[in-house]
Amino acid sequence: MNKKDKNISILFWLVIVLSVSLRLFHSVPNAYGASDHEIQTVLQADLAAQSNPDGLMVSLGGYRRWIRGTDKDMGIPSSYLQAGFGLGTTPAYGQASMHAEWLAAVFANLRVQYDIYRFYGTNTSLLSFPSATASFGRSDVAALKGKEEEGNGSRLLIRPTLYAKAGPVIIVNQTDLAYFHFTGKGPFYLEWTYETLFRDGDHVIQNRTNFLFPIVKSSGDISLLAGPYYEIMYAAAADLKRQRAGVMAYWVPWDAMGTLKRPRFYAQIGHYIEDRNRKGEYMAAFGMGFDLDL
């Protein structure tokens, strides 16, 4: 691979990293201290990197949150409504999203999100496969270089999240129910967010449980959480299942860096327990980000 192709390949994998790192970040309770009936407007920026597959990505998003109640003991919102957006792009495809989120109680959150994709026809952004049993490992994807298509896609995501606490341990259970549409040759498409094959109009179910131990907890937003996780995913039309387990960490070392609020670092290491193309392999993801309160 020459230097130009290598740089393009790295930029493409940015999109994959975004999906992993932001799912990791959003599975951590991030409702920071607030007062009743407060309105918060926040911009968020993140930079993430991943191994297996490899890549980097910069993402930008934001939200407006209407807090309806707070938990006086924990000092965090117990109920809120939220609306927000997200943007991301690489030489492979661009993505724009909007979401609505409802924290019904301190232990129950529901997010509904809609994403629009534009595939540029480069860097494996929209690859077609002939059947549900087709292999899509690294060598298989490399063999399809030059057969990418331009096209559009969309995702409707419904994501309920439940929180619990057992002593000092925070337990987070998050489910993704996602519906996809694609334009292209098909009949199956390789989708990198969940690393699996979909038909047009297909759906996927993914469930993830994190057990987070508070290693450091100081004043304000300063904290270090770490612990194991388990994840299972099922793609309907292709009848594909993946299981992955590992450890993750989430660290906020300071309340602020000047005007930048809640600087954060996060990481995960995972082992593929069950996967058609990566069984027995390991993956890792690392990231950093910050908020800007408006």
Q: Is 96 exposed, middle or buried (0-12, 13-18, 19+ CB in 10 A)?
A: middle
Contacts of 142 (CB under 8 A, 6+ apart): none
Global confidence as pTM: 0.87
The pLDDT value recorded for residue 19 is 40
Mean pLDDT of 223-249: 96
Inside any domain, residue 267:
no
The pLDDT value recorded for residue 9 is 42
Contacts of 242 (CB under 8 A, 6+ apart): 195, 196, 231, 232, 233, 272, 274, 275, 276
Please give the DSSP secondary-structure letter assigned to residue 91: S
Inside any domain, residue 218:
no
Mean per-residue pLDDT over the chain, rounded:
86
| Cα 114 to Cα 94: distance, rounded to the nearest angstrom | 14
The pLDDT value recorded for residue 235 is 96
Measuring CA to CA, how many Å separate 26 from each of 30, 61, 90, 133, 189? Answer: 8, 12, 22, 32, 26
- Please, how many CA atoms are within 13 Å of residue 10, restricted to the half-sphere of its CB? 10
Mean pLDDT of 218-236: 91
The pLDDT value recorded for residue 32 is 58
Domain count, the chain: 1
The pLDDT value recorded for residue 16 is 37
- List pLDDT tens digits, range 163-210: 999 999 999 999 999 999 999 899 999 988 888 999 999 999 999 999
Domain that holds residue 10: 3-165+173-207+232-237
Angle 276-277-280 from CA coordinates, rounded to 5°: 90
The pLDDT value recorded for residue 220 is 75
| Cα 188 to Cα 135: distance, rounded to the nearest angstrom | 11
Task: Assess whether pLDDT exceeds 80 at residue 71.
Answer: no
- List pLDDT tens digits, range 6-25: 444 433 333 333 344 445 55
Tell which wins on pLDDT, 5 or 291: 291
Mean pLDDT of 259-275: 95
Task: Assess whether pLDDT exceeds 60 at residue 31.
Answer: no
- List pLDDT tens digits, range 103-151: 999 899 999 999 999 998 988 889 999 999 999 888 888 899 899 999 9
Inside any domain, residue 220:
no
Inside any domain, residue 98:
yes
Inside any domain, residue 246:
no
Inside any domain, residue 94:
yes
Inside any domain, residue 116:
yes
Inside any domain, residue 285:
no
Q: At 5, is the pLDDT very low, low, confident or very high (cuts 50, 70, 90)? A: very low
- List pLDDT tens digits, range 189-202: 998 888 899 999 99
